[in-house]
Amino acid sequence: MRLVFADHEPHLKPNPRRDHMSGVPELAYSTLDRHGGRVLAPGQVVRTAGQSSPVGTIYRYDRLLVDESVIQNAEARRKLEGAISPTGMSLESQAASVIVAGQGSYRVPVTSAAGDHAAVDAWALIQRLRTGSGESSLPGELLDKVRLEHLMICSKSGPGVGNGEPPVGGSHSFSLGRIPVDMVNPMPSRHSAERRMRVAVLDTGVPPKHPAFDVSDRSEGDDTFVIVDHAFQTKLGEHSDSPAIPLDDPWEGPVHEPTLVGEVASHFGHGTFMTGLLRQMSPDVQVYSLRVVHNDGLAYEHEVIAALHHVADQVEASRNGEAEAVNVDVVVLAMGYVDESPDDEPGGWIGDAVKRLAALGIPVVAAAGNQSSDRPFYPAAFSAHHLPEVAAPILSVGALNPNRHIAMFSNEGPWVTCYATGAGLVSTYPREAKGSRMPDRRARSSYLNRHRESHDPDDFSSGYAVWSGTSFAAPIAAAFLVNAMADAEPGGALDSAAASARAHEALKRLKKQLA
């Protein structure tokens, strides 16, 4: 495993020659429809006169994120609803939902007004609000509190979108997808520890049974390699408003794509693979697994924000002496989005959540994306935003091939902090995954009660796979960091300043060792 740091401080540098659809992931029409998603293509959308043309992104067309100060203020809510009324659309602010108190924004449904046949589109609604006049005009400070909800995609690499459907978007993959393998070497021994370093992985979850690691709920207080959070998942399910299956359990199918073909879902096992990399490189940590990504690789911005604030709440509660709270040392994210702002500088609620963790002294390690683009991919690109000196670092991680060259699929740019091995990796995979693809050749054995066959490309009963992506470079970088942090662990509880200092010191030593 390799880790290489960039030789510059991360910064944002707009590329005027960049294609407006650069960095937008390819998705099948059925996948977009499953999540109420739409691609914002600059040449196909309305835009406010005098405003710069947007750049491509993917968003939920019938949802908006609205600042909690608007939802909780009757007068501000009335102004917003009044401005929307003439557009033929309606904002169901009474149905606004927030998963974790204080997460900054509420997710609000957008519908067609009664008896009106106007097409529902959150982007078009925001543009009309910006051009309102008279009673329908809104002050700028209120307009700034109404935004799109982005669909975030996991950064694994594979041979296209599957399902035989045409993709929608502007990027390409340059890597073979996952294939089943067997693991020859045993997992490294896990030693007892009075205080475990803990890594939060926000992804597709892990199966309750796998030979490489044990799993328990955080309420049980067991020293398993993975702990899950049924209470958080239940809350996530209660607030689900998507046609997709709710993420109300730490682990659940479907294993297969929702078609008649029987292919293994494109991102099924994604979080399991990430967890297995940590098990190989940092066997003495504990993984706190929160399921926020669907098995087709998509996550909702609102739910990711909620999970980040939930982790921050747990850290604060643990430091305040609550015995059942989960203290976290590092957060790993493998999903992201490109923002529609032509300046590539979003802030908003997901930025607030990431920066809150950094302010608590918790480093956030995020995948840089797999679109072969230099366009900032968020939240990884928050690494290039200014942070207070007392905050922990935010690391954006690109992918290396085994020969240490940058993987063709990996994003890169001045906002990428480091690169770790992310191609041709072997790690854990759910054993229940078995797809419809068959071996090229198969015959009955003459001597044993089994078949002779060529390699079955989607039978993962071995529990291991080879896969590629910046998704998997991120936990490797996190493992390097958490191991270095563990070496400097002073023991006892840390406040935010001490936790941040520990992270920066570990990062400094890593850079020196790997130079």
Q: pLDDT of 483-507, one tens digit each?
A: 999 987 655 678 999 999 999 999 9
Q: Where in 41-173 does DSSP place strands (E)? A: 57-67, 89-91, 105-112, 146-154, 167-168
- For residues 29 and 166, the answer to whether their CB atoms sit within 8 Å is yes
Burial class (CB in 10 A: 0-12, 13-18, 19+), 453: middle
Cα–Cα distance measured from residue 20 to residue 234, given in angstroms and rounded to the nearest whole number: 39
Mean pLDDT of 404-421: 96
Q: Name the strand (E) or helix (H) holding 312.
A: helix 301-319
Q: Phi/psi of residue 170, each to 5°? A: -135, 25
Cα–Cα distance measured from residue 235 to residue 292, given in angstroms and rounded to the nearest whole number: 12
Residue labelled with tokens 């340059």: 174
Output the pLDDT for position 94.
84
Q: How confident is the model at residue 171 (pLDDT cuts 50, 70, 90)?
A: very low
Coil, helix or strand for 37?
strand
Output the pLDDT for position 248.
96
Output the pLDDT for position 168.
58
- For residues 256 and 265, the answer to whether their CB atoms sit within 8 Å is yes
> What is the β-pairing status of strands 146-154 and 335-336?
antiparallel
Q: Which residues are catalytic?
A: 203, 270, 471
**Mean pLDDT of the chain, nearest integer:** 90
Q: How confident is the model at residue 172 (pLDDT cuts 50, 70, 90)?
A: very low
Report the share of the chain in percent with pLDDT over 70: 93
Phi-psi region of 198 (alpha: psi -120 to 50; beta: other; left: phi over 0): beta
Query: Cα–Cα distances in Å, from 272 out to 250, 293, 401?
Result: 12, 12, 21
Number of helices (H), then strands (E), belonging to the chain: the values are: 11, 23
Other CB atoms within 10 Å distance of the CB of residue 134: 7
> What is the β-pairing status of strands 215-217 and 226-228?
parallel
Other CB atoms within 10 Å distance of the CB of residue 139: 9
Output the pLDDT for position 15.
76
Cis peptide, bond prior to residue 254, ω within 30 of zero: yes
CATH number of 178-437+453-514: 3.40.50.200
Q: In terms of pLDDT, which residue wins out, 243 or 97? A: 97
Report the share of the chain in percent with pLDDT over 90: 71
- The per-residue pLDDT for range 114-151, each reduced to its tens digit, is 666 668 999 999 998 988 766 667 888 999 999 999 99
Rg, Å, the chain Cα set: 23
Output the pLDDT for position 469.
96
Q: Which 8-state DSSP code applies to residue 332?
A: E
Query: Cα–Cα distances in Å, from 372 out to 1, 57, 156, 365, 471?
Result: 22, 15, 12, 19, 14
Mean pLDDT of 507-512: 95
Mean pLDDT of 382-394: 94
Sign of CA pseudo-dihedral 178, 180, 181, 182? positive
Cβ within 8 Å of residue 208, ≥6 positions away: 215, 250, 251
Other CB atoms within 10 Å distance of the CB of residue 22: 19
Cα–Cα distance measured from residue 275 to residue 508, given in angstroms and rounded to the nearest whole number: 25
**Which of 492, 487, 493 is closest to 509 using CA atoms?**
487
- The per-residue pLDDT for range 11-44, each reduced to its tens digit, is 887 777 778 899 998 899 999 999 999 999 988 8
Cα–Cα distance measured from residue 18 to residue 338, given in angstroms and rounded to the nearest whole number: 13
Given a cut of 60, whether residue 163 has pLDDT beyond it is: no
Cα–Cα distance measured from residue 413 to residue 11, given in angstroms and rounded to the nearest whole number: 9
**pTM of structure:** 0.94
Q: In terms of pLDDT, which residue wins out, 168 or 132? A: 132
Please report, for the chain, the start and end positions of each structural domain, with discontinuous segments joined by +: 27-152, 178-437+453-514
Cα–Cα distance measured from residue 123 to residue 41, given in angstroms and rounded to the nearest whole number: 11
Output the pLDDT for position 492.
61
Q: Tokens for 216? A: 């328990």
**Which of 335, 358, 339 is closest to 347 using CA atoms?**
339
Q: Tokens for 121? A: 């589109």
Output the pLDDT for position 161.
36
Burial class (CB in 10 A: 0-12, 13-18, 19+), 490: exposed
Phi-psi region of 400 (alpha: psi -120 to 50; beta: other; left: phi over 0): beta
| Chain-centroid distance, C-alpha 281 | 21
Burial class (CB in 10 A: 0-12, 13-18, 19+), 378: buried
How many residues appear in the chain?
515
Given a cut of 50, whether residue 173 has pLDDT beyond it is: no
Phi-psi region of 456 (alpha: psi -120 to 50; beta: other; left: phi over 0): beta
> What is the β-pairing status of strands 394-400 and 425-428?
unpaired
